[in-house]
Structure 1
Amino acid sequence: MGSPSDPARHLLDLARSRPPTLGDGRLVCIDGPAGSGKTTLAASLAALAGAPVVHMDDLYDGWDGLPRVTDQLDGLLLPLTEGAAGSYRRYDWVLQEYVEAVTVAPAPLLVLEGVGAGSLAHAARCTVLAWVEAPDALRLQRGLTRDGPQVEQHWRRWMRAEAEHFADQRTRDRADVIVDGTAAAPPRSPGRVT
């Protein structure tokens, strides 16, 4: 298994040690609260594996879109399970509407990154579920630095919605690997709870 201090290598090695779950490919879902470091981890894993990444931010229909994202995941993941290309509609946060369909071809490894990536509805298709976490104050600071202070109320509402989602989905409890988004501790593998 990969170095405990390199979460991307650890995830890749773990995924490759398991049988395919997405047709002939493997799916690594990187979930956890907004601003915790999921996108950074996904980019590292994708670069290491030469794998495509789908960002959940592109699937939500705005700040209140988390409850409806499973429909988007169905269109992406169900065809890939059958060895066909999947697709999703990409949401433009500036225009506040879906702007295009994105096709995702079958691949040896697909990285799905963002809040809701580890959805229970698609747990059987997930080869490895990673949970990335960081303190709430740091996550909010990262989010407002990225998105601007004018969206603070949206961020706070999102943080409440994602907490409810994670409690309902038991995402952290089901994770194969827990990653500290501050890099203060190595990833740990508590084992998946079903």
Structure 2
Amino acid sequence: MDLAVAHILSRVDVQGADVLLIDGPSGAGKSTLADAIVENWPAAEKPTLIRMDDIYPGWGGLAAAGEHVRTRVLEPRSLNQNARWQRHDWTLDAPAEWHDVPSALPLLVEGCGVLTRASAALATVTVWLDADDAVRKERALARDDGAFDAHWDDWDQQFARFVRDEDPVSSAKLVLRAS
């Protein structure tokens, strides 16, 4: 992981307002990689971290969350406008509060479905992170205390459609494989 973080950090202007997108299937290690990037960011101002898990409007919302990030965060930032995103409350299954995204700070967005062709064009660094299917499933189901178990197959099929339609690997400037 340390080499991956160093490689990614070598590609960004840590003093600027670069946009980093990390995508890949569930359980590949995107959140862990994002946390390591923020923790090792060499400038005083750390990037704003947005997790797609906070945006998906329920278990069927992979595409909607990707669109939300593109239209509400990435496009406004690219035009030097105010950007914001809305959290989804998983307990209430309803939209929750809005979060402002400072345009002068770097931005890191991680999660399934963020690396669309349109979003990739608005990013400085795009990363695809993958891992063995059995390892991914074990990680993903272990971290959510059973909340993901009943949704794994549907989510994985939804993600497969996203990969088929958007081909995020071709939009990635870095392709990494976790062990």
Q: 1:9 aligns with which of 6, 10, 23?
A: 6
Deviation at 1:180, TM superposition (A): 1.8
Report what 2:138 is aligned to.
Answer: 141
Q: 2:47 aligns with which of 44, 48, 51?
A: 51
Amino acid at match of 1:83: N
Aligned-partner Cα distance in 2 for 1:45–1:107? 18
Identity of aligned residues (%): 31
Amino acid at match of 1:143: A
1:67 matched to 2:59? The reply is no
Q: 2:159 aligns with which of 143, 162, 176?
A: 162
Report what 2:171 is aligned to.
Answer: 174
Contact 1:118 1:171 in 2 (8 A): yes
TM-score, normalised by the number of residues in structure 2: 0.88
Deviation at 1:104, TM superposition (A): 0.7
1:30 matched to 2:15? The reply is no
Deviation by residue 1:44-102 (Cα, 9 ceiling, x = unmatched) = 11122221111111111011001212441111122211223311110121221111111
Amino acid at match of 1:15: V
Report what 1:120 is aligned to.
Answer: 117
Q: Structure 1: 5+ residue runs without aligned partners?
A: 18-23, 183-194
Give the alignment of 1:67-146 within 5 angstroms: 67-73=63-69, 74-146=71-143
Contact 1:70 1:121 in 2 (8 A): no
Contact 2:30 2:110 in 1 (8 A): yes
Relative to structure 2, which stretch is displaced further, 141-150 or 131-140?
A: 141-150
Deviation by residue 1:11-42 (Cα, 9 ceiling, x = unmatched) = 1111239xxxxxx6211100000110000111
Report what 1:192 is aligned to.
Answer: none
Contact 1:31 1:113 in 2 (8 A): yes
Contact 2:82 2:101 in 1 (8 A): yes
Amino acid at match of 2:91: V
Aligned-partner Cα distance in 2 for 1:118–1:109? 17
Q: Structure 2: 5+ residue runs without aligned partners?
A: none
Aligned-partner Cα distance in 2 for 1:42–1:151? 21
Question: Secondary structure at 1:42's aligned position in 2?
Answer: helix
Question: Secondary structure at 1:178's aligned position in 2?
Answer: strand
Report what 2:34 is aligned to.
Answer: 42
Aligned-partner Cα distance in 1 for 2:153–2:74? 30
Question: Secondary structure at 2:121's aligned position in 1?
Answer: helix
Aligned-partner Cα distance in 2 for 1:140–1:67? 21
Contact 1:38 1:181 in 2 (8 A): no
TM-score, normalised by the number of residues in structure 1: 0.82
Aligned-partner Cα distance in 2 for 1:106–1:151? 33
Report the number of matched residues: 173
Deviation at 1:123, TM superposition (A): 2.0
